[in-house]
Structure 1
Amino acid sequence: MQKIYKSILLFLLCIGIVCCYSACTKESLSNNGEPKINYVRVTDPAAADSLVVEAGQGMLIAIVGENLGDAREIWFNDQKANLTSPYITSTVILVSVPSQIPVEVDNKLKIIFANGKKLEYNFPVKISKPLITRMDCEYVADGDVATITGDYFYAPVKVIFPGGKEGEIVEVKDKQVKVKVPAGTEPGQITIKTNFGQVESDFWFRDNRNIFISSDPFTGWWNSNFVVSNPGPNDPPLINGNYIRVKQSIGNWAWIELAGGPASAMGPISKKIPDEAILKPENYNLKFELNTKKPYNSNGIKFCVGVPDDKQGDYFWAPPYDTKGVWQTVIIPYEEVTKAYANRSIQPDGYYTRVVFSGPGDLDCDMSFDNFRVVPKVIKK
C-alpha cells in the first residue's frame, strides 16, 4: 500500500513538473509563440539599419520578426517568392521579391506557416514604369509600324503619339513595342502608359528641331543632283520631304561631297545648331535618318558640323552599318563629333557644314540620308 501511494505521488509530481515546464516555456516565447513581423530591412551589412516600407522587383530583403522559423511560403501580391531553408530562422527570413508582374495587387506581404496560419504585412512592391530608350526610326508614316525599344512594357500597353492619338499595338516583346502610327500624328514626344506608370520619350517623333541639312529646298555648294524629290518604285520612300541619295561606286580615299558649304551658301538653316550644343556638346546628339539599300561596309564618311570654317578637322564615321533597305535613325553623341575640331565657338551668322565620303577601301554605295540635326539627349522638364 505504501508503494502504491509513493508511485501515485511520483506520477502526480511528474505531471506537475511537465505542466510547470510547458507553462514556463510558453511564457518564455516572445509574443506567446505567435509569428510577428517587426520590420523589413535591406540586406547590405553596411546599411543593416536601413528599414524599407516597399521594395522593387528582384530586390533581396530581410524580414525581421518573431517566431518565423516555420514559414513555408511567402507571397508578394499574388506572386509566390522562392524560399530556401538556410535563409529562414526564428527571427529573420531572407527572400527576394519576385520579378514577375502581379495580376492582382493588394500591396501585402503574406507568410504561410507549416500549421496553415497566415501572417499579412503591408508592403507594396514597386513595379517599374515604362522606359523608352529609342525608336528604330523617328520618322514613320501614318499607318506604318514604328518600333520602340526600352523596357518594362507590361501589358496592357498604350502608346500615345503627339497630338494625343493612341496607336494600335501590333506586338509587345521583351524590351520592344511595335505600334501602328495613327493618322494625324504631329512632331513631338511620344508617351507610353502601363498599369504601373507612364513616361515621355527624350526624343521627338518626326523630329523637326535644329535641322541643318534637309534639302527642302536644296542649299549649299555640292551635289544638288543627289536630291530625290519624286522617288520611283525602286527608291526609298519620302519620310520628310526631299532626301539625299548617293548611288555610285566610291573608290579608296576618293573625295565625294554629300552636302554642305559655308553659312553664306547654306542660308538660314546654317544657324539651326543651338548655342548650348556648341558650349556643352555632351548634352546633345547628332542624328540623321539613313537607308542603305547596299551595306555601308567600306570607305568612310567625314562630318564637319558646327564649326566656323573648313579648317577645323573632321569627325570620321566608320563602317559598318546596314539598315537592310529601311529607314533608321542614326545617333552619334555630339561630344564625340566635336573632339575632332580645333575650334569650337558660337557663330551668330551660321556654321560651316560638310558631309563627305572619304576613307579607306572601295564602296559600292547606295545610301540615302535625311534630316541632319543636332538635338538634346534629354528633354528638360
Structure 2
Amino acid sequence: MKNIKKKRYSQILISSLILFIGILSQACDDNPDKYVITDGIPEVYYIRVPNPESADSLLVAAYMNNTIALIGENLTSIKEMWFNDKKAILNSSFITYNTLLVNVPNEIPSVVSNKIYMITKNNDTIAYDFSVLVPAPIVSSISCEYAHDGDIATLYGDYFIDDPNVPLTISMAGNISVTEIISIEKTKIVFKIPNGSQKGYINVKSIYGTGRSKFQFRDDRGIILDWDTKDASGGWRAGKIANSNPEGISGNYVYFSGALKGDLSTWDEDNFSFNLWGIANGRPEGDLFAIPVDQAQLKFEVNVTQPWSACALQMIFTPWSTKDTNGYIADGVTPRGLWRPWESSGSYQTDGWITVSFPLKDFKYDHTGKALQVAGTGNYGGLTFFVYHGGIAGTDCTPYICIDNIRVVPIE
C-alpha cells in the first residue's frame, strides 16, 4: 500500500511538472471545448507554489493575485472556485485531473471565512481551509511633497482599507497624527496636512499592517535648484524668478510663460528655459549627485496656472564643463527626459502645486522624442530645462508653468 501511494504522488508531481512547463512556454491551447467537467467530488491533498522546484513549499495562505497549485484528485469536477466570497477565474488550460493552477482573486474579501469553496458540476460545495492574505498599505506618492500645513493632499498607492473595527490611520514624520481624513478609496486617500508636520516618511496603518511611504515628505535631499539658495546664474539664461502670483510652495521659483505653437516650430529660450552650467555656476567639478543613475529619480514641484497644450518640457543633463553653447538642445544625440502632460487629454493645468518625478534611466530621448541610448555616468554636472518640440504636435497655447525644488533622490 505504501508503494502504491508513493507511486500515485509521483504521478501527480510529474503531471504538475508537465502542466507548469506548458504554462512557461505559453503553449497551452485555451480551448474550453477540450476541458470536460467530470462528475464526482474533488479531493485536495495540499496546495503549493507552482514551481516544481519548490514542490515541498506547502501553502496554507497566499497573497491576492498570487498563483497557487492545488494537488489532488478529480479536480476536473470543479466548475467554480471561490476564495472567501470572491470568485476566482478558472483557466481550462491549467486544470488536469490531479492539478489545478489558479490566481487568488485580486479583490479584498468582504466576508472572511478563510476557506476555498469548490463547486462541482452537480452543485456540491466542498470547502478547504485556506487564507487570503491582504498586503499592508502601499504608499507610493503624494500629490505634493511640499504641501503646507492645513493644505488638502492626496496619498496614492494601494490597499488603503478602512475597516469599521480597525479604522485606517495616517501619521506624519515625528509621529504626528492626521486628524482629518476626508475620503478613503483602495488606491487613494484625501486628507488635511496636520499642523506641525515635519520632513520624513509617512505611515499608513490598516487592519492588515503598516506601510511606510516610498518618498519623504518635504524632501530636501539632493536639491539642485530651489532659487532661494541655489540658482542657475552663469548660464545664458538663468530663468525668470518669482515668489507670488501664484504663491510659491517654498519661496522663490522659476516660471516659463509666453506663446507656444502647436506645430512644433516654437523656439523661445528667453521665456521657456534656463541653463545651469556647473563650471559657470561655481558648482564643484563632477556630477550634481552621487546616486547611481539606475537608482535615481529627478523630482520637482510644478504649478501650471494657464493651460498647456504644446511642446515638451525637456530636461537635459550636461557635463560639468559645458558652457557658452546651446547646441546640445537639438543635436539629436544628447539624451534627455521629456514631459508632455497634455498629451493624453489635449490640455493640461494643475490645481495648485504638485510633485512630479522621472527615473533618470528614462532620460533617453532626443529633442524630437526619438529613443536614444541612455547617457553614461560623468555627464550630470549641468542641467537645462527648455519647453520645446517633443515630437508630438499640439495646439497653440500661452501656458504659465512654475517650477521649484529640482532635486535628485533615490528610488525607494
Common topology (TM > 0.5): yes
After superposition, the Cα gap between the structure-2 partners of 1:82 and 1:184, relative to the gap in structure 1 and judged at 3 Å, is: same
Q: Which one of 271, 277, 288 corresponds to residue 262 of structure 1?
A: 277
Q: Which residue of 1 aligns with 2:405?
A: 371
Q: Which residue of 1 aligns with 2:254?
A: 244
Note if contact 1:338-1:344 (Cα within 8 Å) is conserved in structure 2: no
What is the number of equivalent residue pairs in this alignment? 334
Following superposition of structure 1 onto structure 2, how do residues 70-85 of structure 1 map, counting pairs within 5 Å?
79=85
1:291 shift after superposition: 0.9
Q: Which one of 336, 344, 362 corresponds to residue 362 of structure 2?
A: 336
Q: Which residue of 2 aligns with 1:327?
A: 353
Deviates more, 1:173-182 or 1:333-342: 333-342
Q: Which one of 125, 133, 137 corresponds to residue 130 of structure 1?
A: 137
Following superposition of structure 1 onto structure 2, how do residues 1-381 of structure 1 map, counting pairs within 5 Å?
38-41=45-48, 51-57=58-64, 79=85, 97=104, 99-102=106-109, 107=114, 122-156=129-163, 157-167=168-178, 168-217=180-229, 219=231, 220-221=233-234, 226-229=240-243, 231=244, 235-249=245-259, 252-256=266-270, 258-263=273-278, 266-267=281-282, 273-276=288-291, 280-305=292-317, 307-310=319-322, 313-314=328-329, 315=336, 317-321=338-342, 322-337=348-363, 344-345=377-378, 351-359=381-389, 363-378=397-412
TM-score normalised according to structure 1 size: 0.68
TM-score normalised according to structure 2 size: 0.64
After superposition, the Cα gap between the structure-2 partners of 1:121 and 1:264, relative to the gap in structure 1 and judged at 3 Å, is: same
Deviates more, 1:326-335 or 1:240-249: 240-249
Structure 2 unaligned segments of length 5 or more: list them: 1-40, 330-335, 343-347, 367-373
Structure 1 unaligned segments of length 5 or more: list them: 1-33
1:142-195 CA-partner distances (Å, limit 9, x unpaired): 111111111111114222211211222211124111121111111111111111
Describe the SS at the equivalent of 2:294.
Answer: helix
Describe the SS at the equivalent of 1:221.
Answer: coil
Deviates more, 1:44-53 or 1:61-70: 61-70
After superposition, the Cα gap between the structure-2 partners of 1:339 and 1:375, relative to the gap in structure 1 and judged at 3 Å, is: farther
Query: CA RMSD, aligned part only?
Result: 4.5
1:314-348 CA-partner distances (Å, limit 9, x unpaired): 5262534423342121212212337778774288x
Deviates more, 1:43-52 or 1:66-75: 66-75
1:210 shift after superposition: 0.7
Query: For the residues of structure 2 that align with 1:354 and 1:89, how far apart are their CA atoms?
Result: 60
Query: For the residues of structure 2 that align with 1:93 and 1:316, how far apart are their CA atoms?
Result: 46
**One-letter identity of the residue aligned with 2:210:** Q
**One-letter identity of the residue aligned with 2:267:** W
After superposition, the Cα gap between the structure-2 partners of 1:260 and 1:52, relative to the gap in structure 1 and judged at 3 Å, is: same
Note if contact 2:302-2:355 (Cα within 8 Å) is conserved in structure 1: yes
Deviates more, 1:312-321 or 1:93-102: 93-102
After superposition, the Cα gap between the structure-2 partners of 1:163 and 1:306, relative to the gap in structure 1 and judged at 3 Å, is: farther
Describe the SS at the equivalent of 2:228.
Answer: coil
Query: For the residues of structure 1 that align with 2:354 and 2:54, how far apart are their CA atoms?
Result: 46
1:203-260 CA-partner distances (Å, limit 9, x unpaired): 111111111110114631366782223x2xxx22321222222333357212226434
After superposition, the Cα gap between the structure-2 partners of 1:338 and 1:89, relative to the gap in structure 1 and judged at 3 Å, is: closer
Note if contact 1:211-1:272 (Cα within 8 Å) is conserved in structure 2: no
Deviates more, 1:186-195 or 1:295-304: 295-304
1:104 shift after superposition: 6.9
Query: For the residues of structure 1 that align with 2:337 and 2:298, how far apart are their CA atoms?
Result: 13
After superposition, the Cα gap between the structure-2 partners of 1:301 and 1:94, relative to the gap in structure 1 and judged at 3 Å, is: closer
**One-letter identity of the residue aligned with 2:253:** Y
1:296 shift after superposition: 2.7
Query: For the residues of structure 2 that align with 1:254 and 1:72, how far apart are their CA atoms?
Result: 65
Note if contact 1:270-1:352 (Cα within 8 Å) is conserved in structure 2: no
Deviates more, 1:292-301 or 1:56-65: 56-65
Query: For the residues of structure 1 that align with 2:98 and 2:209, how far apart are their CA atoms?
Result: 36
Query: For the residues of structure 1 that align with 2:321 and 2:364, how far apart are their CA atoms?
Result: 14
Query: For the residues of structure 1 that align with 2:339 and 2:42, how far apart are their CA atoms?
Result: 65
1:289 shift after superposition: 0.9
**One-letter identity of the residue aligned with 1:255:** E
